[in-house]
Amino acid sequence: MTPRRKLFEITEEPLSQDDILRRVARPDCGAVVTFAGTVRGQTVQEGAVRETDFLVYEAYTAMAEKMMARIGQEVMERWPQVKAVSILHRVGRCEIGEPTVLIAVATPHRDDGCFEACRYAIERLKAVVPIWKQENWADGEVWVEGPRQPELDVGSSDAAG
């Protein structure tokens, strides 16, 4: 028997749609919605298009995985029909076209909030998870993203216990 993989993971390994589908597969779920964020070959910066060579992601792994699990919990609280959620994010160097984030949400039926829950998960991830992106071009690089709302109360319930 293959050991069950984590549902919420920061990894240096390439991401696989098949892998994340296996992580949320359940016999009581007939619908799985996935989101894949991939590396674009272009960046619009101050109105100009720049050709991207590659991206580099860094994360505060322990906190990022904890916060991604919290997002999964939030999804299941907001959409009680959701039976499983998985969020995977890549760190390290990522080439054009490679997935950098995958999210999967499983529900019994497609109209059980699966699509909305998946969108919520990616928006929350971008807002609160400590992951940073470096864009690299032929003539330089810049760190461009991180959590937009780091002050949100994610994980503070652990402080009491």
Residues in the chain: 161
> Is pLDDT at 11 greater than 60 in this prediction?
yes
Average pLDDT over residues 46-68: 94
Q: Is residue 57 part of a domain?
A: yes
pTM: 0.87
Q: In total, how many domains does the chain have? A: 1
Average pLDDT over residues 122-134: 95
Element (H, E) at 21: helix 17-24
> Is pLDDT at 156 greater than 90 in this prediction?
no
Range of the domain at 85: 8-139
Q: Which of 37-46, 61-70, 152-161 has the lowest mean pLDDT?
A: 152-161
Percent of the chain topping pLDDT 70: 87
Q: Is residue 149 part of a domain?
A: no
DSSP string, 1-20: -PPPPPSEEEESSPP-HHHH
Q: Is residue 154 part of a domain?
A: no
The strand pairing partners of 141, in sequence order, are 136
pLDDT tens digits along 32-49: 999 999 999 998 878 888
